[in-house]
């Protein structure tokens, strides 16, 4: 079983499906509600686990009820949380998410309070059996440290890049694979400019474009057509599936198709899919 070590942001999501958007009254009824795992690297780890891999999540949380719930959600998926460190007096991140009719989501994150930046405590045991590393840019100091350790072990290091900051681009200079989103490419001069920048750093690059598919240096993988229930976490699932495929020894072409199918299933089902769901979905295409 291929293993992926993930590091980054974990939070508790409170998702609400609104009957009308934008609201026109002081109160707008929601027809569904769900509490779920959130955070790019955390949901990426869940995707790895549900898609048939083994995942370890490395990150920071508070000693509060939210932090305990987040860890419980990870552990319920069989994810190794031995390096999901609890810090006293810290408040764990939380997000409120409004999902409009049609599935588009609007996120209102509380990024936590008191999360320590020092990565000196990070263990690297998770890399001993890992076939790939997945990091987000929410905790650059920790991600840089783990990415450097992954490169020393000659592992694929996948970066979920959605921030145009010096720290994020320093991390991009360490990654072997950079997968950015449309908003970042717009901020960086467009898809071609972002892909050229990734190549200049010596990394393989791609940009997820939602219904526009996934652009990369070799062309574009078309998006799978589905009826969208909820787009929350689709990119996170994409990154997890992509990293898992690399850990399994697949090439980037297969990894892109597999990840695109997994992300589409996430949008259609409203939850992280299982591998059997994705395989059936690919076979029907």
Look up the CATH number of the domain holding residue 132.
3.40.1190.20
pLDDT value for 285: 67
Residue 20's pLDDT band, with cuts at 50, 70 and 90, is: confident
Does residue 207 have a pLDDT over 80? yes
- Report if residue 109 sits inside a domain: no
Question: What pTM was estimated for this model as a whole?
Answer: 0.94
Token look-up 């994409």 returns 238
- Report if residue 103 sits inside a domain: no
Distance CA 152, CA 172 (A): 16
pLDDT value for 270: 85
- Report if residue 241 sits inside a domain: yes
Residue 35's pLDDT band, with cuts at 50, 70 and 90, is: very high
The DSSP bridge partners found for residue 178 are 159, 205
Count of domains forming the chain: 1
Q: Across the chain, what does the average pLDDT equal? A: 94
Mean pLDDT of all residues in 79-85: 97
The range of the structural domain enclosing residue 216 comes to 3-11+39-93+115-284
Mean pLDDT of all residues in 119-126: 91
- Report if residue 24 sits inside a domain: no
Burial of residue 154 (CB within 10 Å: 0-12, 13-18, 19+) is exposed
Does residue 91 have a pLDDT over 90? yes
- Report if residue 214 sits inside a domain: yes
pLDDT value for 32: 87
Mean pLDDT of all residues in 60-69: 98
Beta-carbon contacts of residue 267 (< 8 Å; ≥ 6 apart)? 103, 226, 228, 229, 230, 231, 234
Gyration radius of the chain's alpha carbons: 18
- Report if residue 62 sits inside a domain: yes
Alpha helix ranges (H) inside the chain: 40-50, 65-76, 140-152, 166-172, 182-187, 191-200, 234-247, 252-269, 275-284
Alpha-carbon distances of 237 from 186, 192, 243, 269, rounded to whole Å = 22, 24, 10, 12
Question: What token pair was written down for 157?
Answer: 């290091």
- Report if residue 21 sits inside a domain: no
Mean pLDDT of all residues in 265-281: 91
- Report if residue 64 sits inside a domain: yes
pLDDT value for 209: 93
């Amino acid at each position: 079983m291929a293993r992926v070590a993930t590091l980054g942001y974990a939070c508790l999501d409170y998702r609400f499906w609104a009957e009308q958007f934008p609201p026109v009254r002081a109160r707008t009824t929601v027809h569904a509600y769900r509490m779920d795992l959130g955070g790019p690297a955390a949901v990426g780890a869940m995707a790895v686990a549900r898609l048939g891999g083994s995942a370890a999540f490395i990150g920071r949380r508070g000693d509060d009820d939210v932090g305990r719930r987040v860890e419980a959600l990870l552990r319920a998926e069989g994810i190794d949380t031995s390096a999901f460190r609890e810090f006293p007096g810290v408040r764990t991140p939380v997000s409120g998410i409004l999902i409009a009719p049609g599935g588009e989501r609007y996120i209102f994150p509380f990024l936590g309070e008191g999360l320590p930046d020092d990565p000196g405590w990070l263990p690297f045991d998770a890399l001993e059996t890992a076939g790939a590393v997945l990091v987000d840019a929410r905790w650059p100091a920790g991600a840089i440290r783990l990415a450097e350790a992954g490169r020393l072990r000659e592992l694929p290091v996948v970066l979920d890049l959605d921030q145009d900051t010096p720290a994020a681009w320093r991390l991009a200079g360490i990654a072997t694979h950079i997968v950015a989103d449309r908003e970042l490419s717009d901020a960086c001069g467009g898809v071609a400019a972002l892909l050229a920048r990734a190549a200049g750093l010596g990394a393989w690059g791609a940009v997820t474009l939602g219904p526009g598919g996934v652009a990369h240096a070799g062309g574009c993988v078309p998006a799978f057509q589905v009826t969208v229930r909820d787009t929350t976490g689709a990119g996170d699932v994409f990154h997890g599936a992509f990293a898992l495929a690399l850990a399994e020894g697949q090439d980037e072409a297969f990894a892109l198709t597999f990840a695109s199918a997994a992300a589409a299933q996430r949008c259609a089902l409203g939850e992280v899919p299982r591998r059997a769901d994705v395989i059936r979905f690919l076979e029907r295409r």
